[in-house]
Amino acid sequence: MLRRLVALAATAALVPLVAVPTADAAPRDRYRASIAITKHGIPHITASDFGSLGFGSGYAATEASVCTLADTLVTARGERSKWFGPDRRYNDQVTLDASNLQVDAFVAGLHQRKVVETLLKDPVRGPGTEARAMVDGHVAGANEWLRTNKVTDPACAGAPYLKANVTALDLWYGVYLANLLASAGVFVEEIVDASPPTVGDPGLPELPVAADVDRDALLTALGRDPEAPFGSNATAVGGDATTTGKGMLLGNPHFPWRGRYHFTQQHLTIPGTYDVAGASLIGSPAVNIGWNKDVAWSHTVSTAYRFTPYEYKTPGPGTTYLTDAGPQELIRDVVEVETPDGTVTEDLYRTPEGYVVDSPATLMPWGPLSVWAIRDANAEHLRTIDTFLDMGKATSVRDLLRRQDEGAGMPWVNTTAADRNGDVLYADHSVVPNVPDDLVQRCLTPTGILLQQVAGLPGLDGTFAGSTCAWRTDADAQRPGILGPENLPVEVRSDWVMNANDSYWLPNPEQPLEGYAGIIGCEQCERTMRTRVVSHYVLDRLAAGRKESPRSLRAHEHENRVMAGEVMREGGALDQVCDATGETEACAALQDWDGHSDAASRGYAIFEEFVGRLPAVGVWLTPFDPEDPLGTPRGLNVANPLVVQAMSDAIAALREQDIAFDAPWGSLQVAGDRGAPPIPLGGGSGDAVGNANALASRWARDNRDHYRPVTYGSSHIQAISFLPGGRVDARTILTYGQSENPLSPYSTDQTRLFSQEKWVHFAWTDAQVRRDLVRRLVVSGP
């Protein structure tokens, strides 16, 4: 610590020490932190305890993302209708899309029952001392920033809800709602709008067979839209396959470029106690994806379900349902929501297992003969901050997993990690309901069988929800009702592992993981083209007799290989399909395409349009084979007229938009986050096309005059390599910039670097921080 302070003093002549105009740093100040801002606006926060560390984190995060943080807290309070109007939609850019009134009613129900307050008092399900201190400090830091700074971001400048009155409870409700992203959060509309059926309500008129169910529509209604997947890539390479003999990690979470689920970067240090860097989602005082001196980790969204629906028989229309203990009445919560025009009342219904839903789109309507409710494993804990915070102390990948299991709060993601010893880890040790296959088979209802066959989601018999169909408890689980570590998939190796949002089955083709509960995901099932390309980056290099180096691993991020293109070009099949359309100009551009999705690639737009129009079946001559999972399916079916029609339609779509067939991809795909100029970007569609550098345009508002303004995808990318002598080579890029304020110099600077396929050399050591120092703040407050 003394060495660091001396070094800071030595730089004072070059970089002014900024005294933030807060209250005097007297003994009455509870918190005090130093924030060193380095190039690209990255804050390095140093404090003597976790409360002060949270204070510095909250101060820095508010400066970078005040509008989104404020919006998140308004949501957590159930006040969206009050400030934004009840009829406007709230879209979190991931799974939640509901009116402000519906969101507020859902949140009001939680507040009315004091759900979070109860969890905060629970010694098992609630947070620990350090997590509480971080949250307390974080909100105090946010309040201090709001007290002492003027908001200049046009998105919220002058907003009446921007007040320095944030409480720890506000933030805990925000954390709790984020936990529900893949479960109850998917059903907010269906929960709030659920009401008892009438005599004439048909319910589910006739149970369809699996073949007649629109699988894509069902998955979309369950928050798993195949056309808009929520995903990421992560590759960890161990000492047996690296030039350093130590572990390396390339992580690229694909998250929204705007809103609640975008990242900010930070470096958190308590000298001699805690030192971790990486990225955090808005509202998280802990690093979610990052590294310390010994371990680096990243996350990918898991295929496991976080909830199970229960179907209860009813004696007819109304609020009575049947159980093995006799008829029961639904619990009815009457909640009030404040709007500009007065108070609105809503009814929410639930069973002891959870909220009632009226969801015909997921085959779960509230009809005259049955009613559905969902039990949500992530609604039963508040352990997420503890889990991430403790992972930052890990000394190896095995220690990382041990700490994750003790926290038991990893809400909806896999973990891929590498360590200094040369070991690598893949694990899906997220929060999963304890419903092993034998319980599922005994408890499925007829509709529940259909849900499982089509979507992998078991619909259980609510008649026995409190007895034989209740979630089980594993002896090694941190709390009742969730699968324990022994029943969750994990693989530790010394060569390599990866995940790109397919199930846990194949982190390395040499060692498939099998025999786990079906609710976690599928086994011996087809991999996406994105999984195949991420795997082949390492496989192809090793097959050529070359190990991965720090430079080669991070270079994979910008190779922009297009796996579907590579597969479809085998034997000239792709050109044959195009030639069958008679479109000579377009086919010449496609034939000249370099096979990549670089910003300079020409002809690639045709391929993107083509893949997006392919039929659901009949595309391949060789189907998926679990004995060759990374090589099948293959063989483009040039004789299928629907495949040829897809190419014709793709060419016509570009012609209709007046897009040149040989236009450089970067002239078409540009940055689309708020206030960004149309910066050209490489990369492209992920799962079906096979880009690891997956980018997408969803709900775009800016640069809509361009073909594809990017609002989603590659986000906080990190390439971390452990080197001899205790050194760490940390390269990162936050694709949309550290600041969401378009007036900030840190709004688009990293986007430009991303466009140029460059990296930020993240300042990890004291010397590196001094080298890149822009300004320093000492902040304190009550």
Angstrom distance (rounded) from CA 660 to CA 666: 13
Query: Which amino acid is present at 437?
Result: D
At residue 439, the 3 state secondary structure works out as: helix
Among the listed residues 57, 65, 99, 232, the single catalytic one is 232
The DSSP bridge pattern shows strands 424-427 and 620-622 to be unpaired
Angstrom distance (rounded) from CA 446 to CA 466: 19
CB 513 within 8 A of CB 507: yes
CB 303 within 8 A of CB 503: yes
Active site residue 302: no
Q: 709 phi and psi, to 5 degrees?
A: -80, 120
CA distances to 28, 55, 91, 390, 428 from 49, in Å: 16, 10, 36, 14, 31
End-to-end CA distance of the chain: 24
Q: 627 phi and psi, to 5 degrees?
A: -80, -15
Prior bond of 633 cis (ω within 30°): yes
Which of 44, 130, 666 minimizes the C-alpha distance to 388?
A: 130
- Give the tokens for residue 361: 């789109």
Please state the separation of Cα 773 from the chain's center in Å. Answer: 31
Which of 661, 695, 710 minimizes the C-alpha distance to 558?
A: 695
- The radius of gyration of the chain's CA atoms, rounded to the nearest angstrom, is 26
CB 749 within 8 A of CB 710: no
> Where would I find the H helices in 212-345?
215-221
242 strand-pairing partners: 548
Which residue has tokens 């901050």? 385
Residues identified as active-site: 232
